[in-house]
Structure 1
Amino acid sequence: MKVQWQGQSLRLRIDEAELQRLRDGGEVENRSRLPLGDDCMQRLRLDGAGSAAMTGTVNDWCLVMPRAEVEAYVGRLPCKDGLGYDLAVAGGGALRIDVEVDVRDSARVRGKARR
């Protein structure tokens, strides 16, 4: 999983193998060991909930995505768009999270991109 984070915008890009792991009930994670001695981990998983949610702590969090939305997205692959979530934050505002499957990897696995 590739992670891009700037301000209140977070982009998570996964490949087809990671997507399959999610669909099979597993988790996808990105772990960074920091010089301060702590790890920072971001995880993805699916469940039957109707909306996305973030669980965990600042250094170890998980974005839980609705399985039905992900399965509908899989039906559109390969494509450049992804799934987007606006999660409310304390004090107002939101964290925008975009989750995408790498379009090049998806085209390689599934065939030509759809328009």
Structure 2
Amino acid sequence: MKLQIEAQHVRIRIDEDELTRLLAGNVVAGHTQFAKAFMMHFTLRLQHEVEPVLTGYTDAWQIGLPEAAVREHAARLPTRDGLRYLLPCEQGVDALELLFDVDVRDSVRRRHGSKP
């Protein structure tokens, strides 16, 4: 799982193995060690709600994505289009844009049997 953060934009990008685990009802977890300063943990799961949920603490995020939308997205692979959500923030702060996609290059390689 790749997590990219820039201002009020968070992008989650997974590969097809991680997608398979998600669709099977498992969580996908990752972490980043920021040198000797701290470690950040993040988990991704599917949920029945139609809107995504971001909970946790500054060093431990839990991201819940709408299961139906992820399954529909998986059925369209390979596609460059991902899922996009706007999550409300505190008053006076722009909404957080959450983007989710599956690595299209991995999808194409798997479907066409080509080497990386």
Contact 1:14 1:102 in 2 (8 A): yes
Q: Distance in 1 between matches of 2:111 and 2:26?
A: 21
Q: What is the aligned-residue identity percentage?
A: 38
Aligned pairs for 1:1-115 within 5 A: 1-34=1-34, 35-36=36-37, 38-91=38-91, 92-111=93-112
By how many angstroms is 1:87 displaced? 0.6
Where has structure 1 moved over 6 Å in runs of 4 or more? none
Give the paired residue count. Answer: 111
Contact 1:82 1:98 in 2 (8 A): yes
Q: TM-score, normalised by structure 2?
A: 0.88
Letter aligned with residue 62 of structure 1: Q
- Cα 1:111–1:84, aligned 2, differ >3 Å: closer, same or farther? farther
By how many angstroms is 1:12 displaced? 1.1
By how many angstroms is 1:93 displaced? 2.1
By how many angstroms is 1:109 displaced? 2.0
Q: Distance in 2 between matches of 1:28 and 1:65?
A: 12
By how many angstroms is 1:24 displaced? 0.8
Tell me the secondary structure at the aligned position of residue 17 of structure 1: helix
Structure 1 gaps, min length 5: none
Q: TM-score, normalised by structure 1?
A: 0.89
Structure 2 gaps, min length 5: none
Q: Distance in 1 between matches of 2:46 and 2:112?
A: 25
Residues 3-49 of structure 1: per-residue CA shift (max 9 Å, x gap): 1111001111100000001011111122012312x320122100111
